[in-house]
Copies of this chain bind each other. A is one copy, B any other.
Amino acid sequence: MIGSGFIAKVHSNAIRQVGHFFDLPYELYLKVICGRNRQKLEAAASRWGWEEVEADWRAVVARKDIDVVDIAVPNALHAPIAIAAAEAGKIVMCEKPLAASLADAERMTEKISGLPNLVWFNYRRLPAIALAKQLIEEGRIGEPYHFRAIYLNQSGNDPSKSSTWRYQRGEAGSGAAGDLLSHVIDLAFYLNGPIRELSAMTHTFARGRDVDDAAVLLARYVNGSIGTFEASRYGVGCQNRITFEINGSKGMLRFNLDSMNELEYYDASEAPSLRASRALMVTGPNHPYWETFWKPGHAIGYEHPFIATLGDFFLAMAEGKPFHDNFEDALAVQRVLHAVEQSGVSGHWVHVDQRG
């Protein structure tokens, strides 16, 4: 584990919990946690059961007794660590966004080729979102017309935050774009496929910040549908609000992370007088992961999609099956972020690189 902040805690929990809910053919050992603040590191190690602490990530990557490296540090460090880990033949798990720049993301993806790898786009494995995917694949939404998504928090409205790494271009690469927009772009890929071209606006409200506080865009998808996206750290009133809606010829899906165990589904084929949005409580029966965690009617929380990500990753690895999101998936997201930045500067529509 490289990192000891909030997201390292979430990953540690997933590592601890995955064996309680998934039948894995692997035994996981928590060898070493690596970070800069020794006191904080030892507290984390003792709490989560990491055997050792270490200050230098290069030392960790060099160890022979380590099979998996999990990267939970500021974005700009993803590339050097992932590349070194890939060169050492490790399995690599990396927090999103993949990198602080497209160039980094491309190099990382090239290097990791052939090794099992994972990017922590956790929301794909929210049962409600996995069910959305399933309903779409069953054809229940029909021909897609619109996919719109919004991710708002209000972290930027606090000017004292400018000094943390998330508000520094050098460490983060971007602001709301990498932090928030990347999540909903990944959901768009998952649920509606690739974006062909886009027109974006990026905006910084706070003086002196060199990253975007908000990133918004219009998109044309490869499948013929259109979309709008909005990500902002100035979404006052919203602590951590992701919403999306898909309108298709046969139905509609709507999601709001504030009610993360729910999915709204509208079936346009029903009798007109009974046609309405229904609020599916996606805790079973027959929903994604419903037998993995608790019982129908019993909500799961923020950390469960991380556990499911890890469980699915190890099961796929054991069965030699592909796993998503991997570095290539995250690279595709990074290409969209890159196009957003370009369009934000130029004011033109930009084609998104569709390789891979």
Contacts and interface: CB of A to CB of B under 8 A. Distances in A.
Interface of A: 6, 10, 12-13, 16-17, 19-20, 47-48, 131, 145-146, 148, 150, 152-154, 157, 199-201, 203, 205, 214, 216-218, 220, 226, 228, 230, 232, 234-241, 245, 247-252, 254, 258-260, 265-266, 268, 271-274, 276-281, 283-287, 293-304, 347-349
- Main secondary structure, interface of A, reads mixed
B232 A145 contact: yes
Contact of A272 (B265, B286, B301): B286
Contacts of A301: 293-294, 298-301, 303-304
B281 A278 contact: no
Contact of A148 (B145, B230, B241, B303): B230
B297 A153 contact: yes
Given A205-B145, A249-B157, A297-B239, A228 B226 contact: no
Please give me the 4 A-B residue pairs with the lowest Cβ-Cβ distance, nearest first.
Answer: A237-B252, A239-B297, A240-B297, A301-B301
Contacts of A258: 281
A217 B200 CA distance: 10
Contact of A232 (B146, B153, B248, B303): B146
Contacts of A157: 145, 249, 268
B16 A20 contact: yes
A297 B230 CA distance: 18
Given A47-B20, A273-B286, A294-B10, A230 B232 contact: no
Contact of A276 (B152, B272, B281): B281
